[in-house]
Structure 1
């Protein structure tokens, strides 16, 4: 009998992630880790430490507030993607899975891709461009049928 291939399924958005495991066709999915990852969702005013800087008009006496160099909310989502990528990289090093399926909305998918190393990227067998973070575990296989046999 051939060895079953372990596939991890990452279901994420910019602030929430769950990991599931599938041990082969017909085996369904179950949580890969006991925890659900939840990023901080603080208002921008609580993330940024200072008020925006001010600048003077080049030809007058007016002053203007300056935009921060990065959006604090966007930066928080990128840090969350880095955290999830680190968890997956650690699991990859322990040979916890052979394949990885990613389910995330477009922006979160891009953030995750940019944080994955070469080896982890090579293990990605499918991507599903959807936000399924709030879908109950029992209903996920209905959505995953597009990209894998569950």
Structure 2
């Protein structure tokens, strides 16, 4: 019989359940928690002055002297108003997605599951899609765009089975 893993995740937590026999209860095999979820925002964000903050220097970005500004503008360097492409929270969520993806890939190599169901908060589901290995994607039999990380195993199973039945009904129409 094929083993199906059910991943229930959001940016702070991922619970992974195994279903080898539909008559048996789901077995929780992993409960991953993002390191950022355990930290305060003040621990993630830093007040330290970065390399680009030397506002009075013509040798660094954002200088108030004409030569420094002109040099930096020509070089395409960011100015004092530079904003990073990601917030620290987005960066931590991306790292967590990569951790989950790596865990799933390793487990697949070990033959621990043959099918996958993913239930995740909308934004996190999009990130998972982006980072999942191409060998894992064909194993996905269902994606649920909802966060069930706080549901117990029985509630999760019921929600997944409802979604599978709805998916089958849509295919028949």
TM-score if structure 2 supplies the norm length?
A: 0.71
Partner secondary structure for residue 130 of structure 1: coil
* Alignment RMSD: 2.5
Determine the structure 2 residue equivalent to 1:86.
102
Identify which of structures 1 and 2 has the higher relative contact order when contacts are C-alpha pairs closer than 8 Å and 6+ apart: 1
Aligned counterparts of 2:95 and 2:114: Cα–Cα separation in 1: 25
Q: Which has more helix, going by share of residues?
A: 2
Displacement of 1:24 in angstroms is: 3.4
Task: Give 4+ residue runs of structure 1 displaced > 6 Å after superposition.
Answer: none
Partner secondary structure for residue 151 of structure 2: coil
TM-score if structure 1 supplies the norm length?
A: 0.81
Determine the structure 2 residue equivalent to 1:6.
3
Unmatched segments (≥5 aa) in structure 2? 56-61, 65-78, 166-173
Q: Which has more strand, going by share of residues?
A: 1
> What are the residue-to-residue correspondences of 1:52-91 with 2, within 5 Å?
53=53, 55=62, 65-91=81-107
Unmatched segments (≥5 aa) in structure 1? 58-62
Determine the structure 1 residue equivalent to 2:143.
127
Query: How many corresponding residue pairs?
Result: 141
Please tell me whether Structure 1 or Structure 2 has the larger radius of gyration of its CA atoms: 2
